[in-house]
Structure formats: structure tokens, C-alpha cells
A and B are shown apart, each in its own frame.
Chain A
Amino acid sequence: MAKKVNKETLDNVTIRFAGDSGDGMQLSGGRFTQTAAIVGNDLSTLPDFPAEIRAPAGSLAGVSSFQIHFSSQEIHTPGEKPDVLVAMNPAALKVHLKELKAGGTLIINKNAFNPKNLKLAGYETDPTEDGTLDDYYQAHFIEMSKLVTLACEGIELSPKLVERTKNLCALGVLFWIYDRPLEPTIDWLKNKFKNKPEIIEANTNALNAGYNYGETAELFTTRYVVEKAKLPAGRYRNMNGTLATCLGLLAAVEKSKMSLTFAGYPITPASNILHTLSNWKKFGIKTFQAEDEIAGIGAALGASFGGSLGVTASSGPGIALKGEFLGLTLITELPVVIINVQRGGPSTGLPTKTEQSDLFQAVYGRNGDAPTPVVAATTPGDCFVTTYEACRIAVKYMTPIIVLTDGYLANGSEPWMIPDSKDLNDFDVSFEKGSETDEKHQPYKRNKDTLARNWAIPGTKGLEHRIGGIEKEDGSGNVSYDSDNHEHMTYTRAQKVANIANEIPPTQVYGKEKGDLLILSWGSTHGSCKVATEKLLTEDYKVGHVSLKWINPFPSDLGKILLNYKKVIIPEINRGQLRYLIRAEYLIDAIGLNEIKGKPIGASTIVNKCKEILDG
């Protein structure tokens, strides 16, 4: 007998999958995301995992989660408090329950609530038995381990491997609740486990078991529909920041016709850039796993000296080690792209959590007067064009450049309108031509417009020259200890970086062009600030939002824009690093909103703080 099921339409939903590190929550989240993308929702995701590869099973430290916010409207953040929490064990429940919305939906793997796991999570009584959950949430206790065991009967697979399919069972339940197709996931399983038919069968059965449980169990009386989002017309794919960064580098190779040499050392959360590029050798990309962070940038610089585009990527602690080489790159005026996927600091800090606290390091973190261009990506998809532009500017201006992303951007994802390579800025490279004459080569001869020096690469006859870390005489490039030349070179290097402002398009203001409050964000706080601005505008507050990408140099129109508002607020995941720079540069008493919790600042936090300022 078919049960009676209501269908209800929702604008947007936030789901958090939480479980033990070994429970496959990143996979469940990833598959739900891909399906949401295929259905046509707008979406934003936030994976969150422990620094330990396998913390003791069932412990609080070992909980891994994945949040997805999907919607029929445009969204810009991975959501704040989830509407649905999937808790695969007591520890996951303990860690995440406090953030579930009041009255929210709880999907629990009942079988994991055994005395041992309850004790590990610090529960004295079983919350699935003592009634504490039912009073506040729509709690569903599903015996997932048992369901998958039954569903996989007859498949030649160890009980342990069968048990591991329970993440697909949880996914199946959610697919039923949100009326999503199973086929994309089944196709993905078939492709992923090509040579393991029993794994495909077990996982498919588990997925179906979850879906059918929703269909038949009397517990669920409502299914929810989240319609397609009305995004700008175009072809889309789901994009995370790491892949977007790598595609940006690939675009630089293809547009410039240069080779690219990537040298890096493994570090969370930047290693995936090395992994991805290592598969792209056919595009002429060479990758080199160096012996340490210093060697990573050193090899990148060596490659650039040789006429290949040198690129390295790391996170804060690794960037600290690269500092001296950044200075050498800068004084030898060679293009090297340094990507910093920021994480919580200082020191080892919070390796798997996001933070924006390396801005000072990027802007100032070198000995001497050492101006270095700094550009930040604002969304996962934006990492593409940001990285591409960084490569182009590095070569055009013969300079190191720091690209700031962060753990949230690198691992988070969003629907991305696929660009046409033709729409990217042209990327021209010209190496100095060889000469048969006796005229002495001038390695530090500069382009009058950019102040970039010429690029003469080893192998070119007649251009033999020596460069190094000792101060150079402008023009000849010879070692010079002359005091006037040193001052001249110091200002020349600074002016060259300042000239990059000519490459920055006019700043876009979202919301009011003049008003009471400007919300100024940089990098990944873009999304939350945009959502907060939208909300404040609907309530008739006179606010605008500027999302900064270029920190060094600042866009040349920024100073004027700041003066169009009575007040400026700068939300950052640090103690106020951009605020410090803005105050210093523009003598503006900017207000800080600083939340340093290893995750994106919630839009509601920004809205509340803005109202406090505007209403106060």
C-alpha cells in the first residue's frame, strides 16, 4: 500500500553529513553535490575534516563533515546552521548537534549507537533512546548498518566492506527526501570501481536500500523539492578551488605557449595542486616534488631563469620557509607565481581549517624593502581567473606574485559558468633575441611603461649575463654597492609593482554606490559579505559591498570609493589585517569584524554587526 506523501517546495536547504573519518562523509557530500549540480541548483559546499588521517574510531577528534547549501536561487555561501544533520555515530552527533537548526531534521545511523561509541562520545545515556532528541528535532533513527547487511546479502564481500557502504545508504535516504535522481551516482560508481563489480553492486544496493527506506518507512511524510536555480545562461560545471587554480595555470600555459614548471612540497591543504598538475604532463607541465619548501620555490625560480614559468604552492608555514627566495626572485626580477592556500595559524595551527591570517605575511613577510604583488581569489571558481591573471602579470612585470586562496576556497565548490578561453586576456611573452654584435647585453634594461626588465634566457647567444641577490646597477645588472643606485633601485622596484594598478579593472560596487556603510571584503569572505549586503538592502539599509581581489597594489579607484560611505566595515577571518592596511593607506577609521574560528564567517554575523553600527 502506497503511503501518503506530501511534496513541499523549498528555496534553499543546508545539509551537513557528519561521521567518523572512515565513514565516507566526504564522498556522500561530494555525490550529493554533483547531483545537485546536475539537477541545476545553485550550491556552495564546505568540507571539514580532522588533521589526523585516522583518529581513533568513534572519537570526537575523528569526526569529519561535509556541508552543502543548495538552492533554487543564487547563493554565495555554504550556509550556516544546517537544516539537516546526518550523524553516522554518537561522536558526530555530539560535535554537530549544537549547530542544527531548532526543529531541524536529524538522520541517525542507529546501529552505531552502541555502549562503546556512546562512551567515546561522552554520552551517559543513549540520546536515541532517552527521548532528548525527539523533543527538539525531527529525528529519524535508521539502522543503516543492518539495512546494508541485508541489501548486500549474497555479494561476496567481507562484512567490514559491506558495513562501509552505509554512507551510500544515508545518501539514498537524502536523495529520496529531496527527490533527486540516483543514476548519476550509480554511473559514477560504475566508473570509479570499473574492475570491482562486487563493490559497485554493494554500493548500488546500499544506495537503493536508503532510497527505498524513505519510500516505504512510515517515518517520512514529506518530500521536498528544490527547483533549478535561475543562474545566468551558460554551460556550467561544479568547480572547486583547487581544480580552478590548476586550470588557471593550464590556461596560462596554453595562452602564452610557455612551458610551466611546478615545484612544491606536500602540505595541507595545498598538496592537491601538485597532484592535479602531475597528471597534466601532456600539456608541457613539468612537476617536481622538492625535498622541502625552500627547494620548491628555488626550483621554480631556476625554471623561470631558464624561460619556463615557475610556480610553487604551499600554505602559511611553507610560505614562511620560502621567504628568502621571494626576496631573490624580486631582486633578480624573474616571474614566479607563489600560491598560498591559507590555513589556520600560527605555526602548524589548524592545518585543515580555513583562515585569512597570512595577509601580512604576503604583503610584508620578507627582509628589506621588498614589495610583492598580492592577489586573492574570492570564490572557488574565481581561483581560475585569479591564477591566470597572476601568471600573466608575473611575466608582464617580471616579478614574483603571491596568490592567496584558503582551505575553504580550495576544498569548497560551486557551480561555475565555463569560460571560453578566447575571453581571457592575451598573454604575450617575448624573450630577448640573441645578438651577434659586440654590444653588451643590458639585463636590467626596462620597458618604459611597466618598468619590467627584459628576459634573456640561457641558451641565447650573445646575451650571457650574471644575476644574483646582490644589488644591481640598473641597466647593466652588474653588482653595485653604490648608494644612489640602491635608492634608485628600491624605488624602481616599488614603482614597478605600483604600475600593476593599471591592469586592475574598475572596482565593482554591489548595492548602494554611496551610503551609510561599505562592507569591504577580501578573498573568500566575499560570499558572506554579499549575502549580508543583499539582506541589509532588502531592509532598506544604505549599504554597499566591495570585494577586493588586489591587495598589492590596491585598485586605484578604491580610495575614492571608501569616501562615499559614512563608515567602512571589514569582516575578516583574522584580527584585522586588511583593516590595518586600509587604515594605513587611506587614513580611514575602518571598523573590524573579526571571527577566527577556522570556518567562513556567517552572513548573519555580518548582518547583525552592520545593524549594530547602522542602528546604534
Chain B
Amino acid sequence: MADKPTLKKADFQSDQAIRWCPGCGDYAILAQTQKVFPEITEKKEDTVFISGIGCSSRFPYYMNTYGFHTIHGRAPTVASGLKLANPDLSVWMVTGDGDGFSIGGNHLIHLLRRNININVMLFNNRIYGLTKGQYSPTSEQGKVTYSTPMGSLDYPFKPTQLALGAQGSFVAKTIDKELKHLQNMIRRANDHNGTSFIEIYQNCNIFNDGAFGTLTDRDTKADRLLYLENGEPMIFGNDKDKGIILEGSKPKVVKIGKKYSVEDILVHDETDSLLANMLSNFTANPEFPEPLGVIYCSERPTYDDLMADQMSKANEQPKQTLDDMLKAGDTWVVK
């Protein structure tokens, strides 16, 4: 990568009018993406954005790169096929909580398990927006929506926990309002070789406004957000006076001061899958802060690299032409 970007943010802006609702969290995510991309690539022609269906999935139309707005839930399949056909491309997938976890849940888990080198941005607004406000697989139980006037009965997924369970090799979480953090997660996903999964909390101001209010309000967010830094203790709070410790196998929030010092606080290790599983379980748990950052990052061979190995190994086999193949096996001549 060049020290100084040759492309500008404007180079990544397409000429299409953006049709999200005014005030939608998607605008911020798009802007941060367009801002970061000049840093992470010099060749926008090698970048492809692939999406499914939903508000978030309109994203590719607004990026002046190659793009494919596919069908509901199926973006991982198209992204996988594209990446296998041309591993040199930088493939980004944009999906939502309905697209990625409901109709497309199967594809997403298999993408993570295979570890194809694709970056997934999952916009989680805990609601169906484009179909006008039904509960989603990440909505809290009891949610009153058009389809659940007496409250939803479904128990929600915890996206990062699901991604870890699906053997994701890079799992991170961020939020639409934390612009620098969001940019940083995009950079980190780009750097990771393998499937990178970023859950982005995104406010739908029409159908689920304030779903992440306590995480974004000035008054509450410091006590509710835990910024993860690799190798750093898990400290949070307005006065940086709270931390996470382990009691036996159980995490606990403690106050740093008389009884506990900074040295007692649990240190984040991105490569520790047990720790990652514990942190992913903090989601929507009032006892704990919401962890933001890279929860887990550990490289293992990617499907695309393994396939390239097999292809080159196969290439060492004796050469045969089409006519050799047509004539193979037992043949006989009729005169």
C-alpha cells in the first residue's frame, strides 16, 4: 500500500441518489467506508461489494466499485463463488440481521466455517426495516411489532456468539455512532486473511429508534460500552474505574479502587477463543457492558488458499488435451 492514498473518498462515491430514510444509521456507515477505502486499496476496480436484500443491502449501489445486489439472504453464496473464481478480488459483503441471520442464516454460518477471505459487514438494527417493521432474529423477546402485537415469542441470537460458534476467525463489533471505531474495524477486517465478521449496531430511526440508545447517549455510554484493545485490561466507565475480573470461570464487573487494582483486571487477548466466547455472551446482558472492538482474531488457512494449493497440485499431473479425454478408456474402431 502506498504511504499516501492515490484515491480519494469521492472516488468511492457512486452517482446514484441515496434512498435511505433521513437520519438512518446507514449513512454514517457508508460515509466511514468511503473514507477508509482510499487507505486500504489503490485499485477500486479490484473491490466488489455484494449484498442481499434489505435496507442495508442497497449499500453496493452507493459505492463506486463493482457491486452486486443479489437476493434475500444469499449474498454469501454469490460472494463465495466470486472469490473462488477470482481470489485476487477484495470481496465485501453487506447484510442485515434479517438478511444474514434469518433467511440467510445457513449461508452465513457456512461462509464463516469455510473461512473464505471475504469481509462481512452485518448491520444489526434488530428490526425488519424494508418490510416496514417486523421483529427480527436479533429483536429482544417480547418486542411489540406489526406482526407481534402481543410481543414476540422468539428468543434472539447474539450475533458475535453465533459467528464464533460458526468458527469465524475474525469477529468484531462496532456501532454506527462511533465513527473512528467503525473505521478502525473496517481496517482490521481488511487486514485479516479469512472471513472477517463485523457486527455493526445501527439505529433504525423509523421502526426501532433508540434500540442502542444507552450505548450512544452521552450520559450512559461510558458505563455501558467496553472498548476492547488487544493486550489491554478490560476497563470502562466514565472515570475508567470499572473493570472485568474472573472469579473462577465467571466474569464479574468490579470497581477499581480499594479492593481491586488495574492489575487484577482481565487483559484482552484476541486470539483466546474461550475469552471471546465469554465476551460475546455480554451482548444484551444488563450485568455487563457491551464489548466493542475485535473480540476474536486468529488466522487459519483460508478456503481460497487451500483451493489454490489443490489447483496447483492438480496442475502437476500429466498434461492431457480435450481429445485425450474424449478418447480415454476402452475404445474400438469400426471400419
Contacts and interface: CB of A to CB of B under 8 A. Distances in A.
Given A308-B85, A458-B66, A466-B66, A250 B45 contact: no
Contacts of A38: 330, 332
B310 interface: yes
Given A298-B74, A328-B71, A421-B322, A308 B330 contact: no
Interface in A285-316: 286, 288, 290-292, 294-308, 310
Given A467-B69, A469-B70, A37 B330 contact: yes
A235 B320 CA distance: 19
Contacts of A462: 45
Among A232, A247, A457, A468, residue most surrounded by chain B Cβ atoms (within 10 Å): A468
B81 A302 contact: yes
Contact of B89 (A304, A306, A421): A306
A282 interface: yes
Nearest to B319: A282
B46 interface: yes
Given A290-B77, A301-B81, A458-B45, A468 B69 contact: yes
A38 to B, nearest CB: 6
B332 A294 contact: no
A254 B45 contact: no
B67 A235 contact: no
A186 to B, nearest CB: 14
Among B60, B64, B69, B326, residue most surrounded by chain A Cβ atoms (within 10 Å): B326
Nearest to B70: A328
A463 B64 CA distance: 10
Contact of B322 (A37, A254, A290, A459): A254
A297 B76 CA distance: 12
A261 B321 CA distance: 19
A184 interface: yes
Contacts of A457: 86
A302 B310 contact: no
Contact of B81 (A288, A292, A464, A465): A288
A286 B66 contact: no
A68 interface: no
Measured as residues with beta carbon below 8 angstroms from the partner, the interface class of chain A is 35 or more
Nearest to B63: A466
B86 A281 contact: no
Contacts of A284: 311
A307 B81 CA distance: 11
B237 to A, nearest CB: 43
Interface in A431-457: 434, 457
B88 to A, nearest CB: 7
B82 interface: yes
B335 A466 contact: no
Contact of A291 (B16, B106, B326): B106
B55 to A, nearest CB: 14
B81 A310 contact: yes
B216 to A, nearest CB: 31
Contact of A235 (B76, B80, B314, B332): B332
B334 A236 contact: yes
B326 A247 contact: yes
B212 to A, nearest CB: 29
B92 to A, nearest CB: 12
A578 B318 CA distance: 46
A388 B177 CA distance: 53
A209 B221 CA distance: 86
Contacts of A328: 70-71
Given A288-B80, A302-B77, A479-B61, A464 B334 contact: no
A468 B88 CA distance: 22
Contact of B86 (A40, A308, A463): A308
Interface string A236-247: 111000000001
25 contacts: A37-B330, A184-B330, A235-B332, A236-B332, A237-B327, A237-B331, A251-B322, A259-B85, A282-B314, A286-B84, A288-B84, A294-B107, A298-B70, A298-B74, A298-B76, A298-B80, A299-B81, A301-B77, A304-B85, A306-B81, A325-B74, A466-B60, A466-B67, A468-B68, A478-B16
Given A38-B332, A310-B81, A467-B68, 13 more contacts: A234-B333, A295-B76, A302-B82, A303-B84, A305-B68, A306-B82, A307-B85, A421-B321, A457-B86, A458-B45, A459-B46, A464-B44, A466-B60
Interface of A: 34, 37-38, 40, 184, 228-238, 247, 250-251, 254-255, 259, 261, 263, 281-282, 284, 286, 288, 290-292, 294-308, 310, 324-325, 327-328, 332, 418-421, 434, 457-470, 478-479
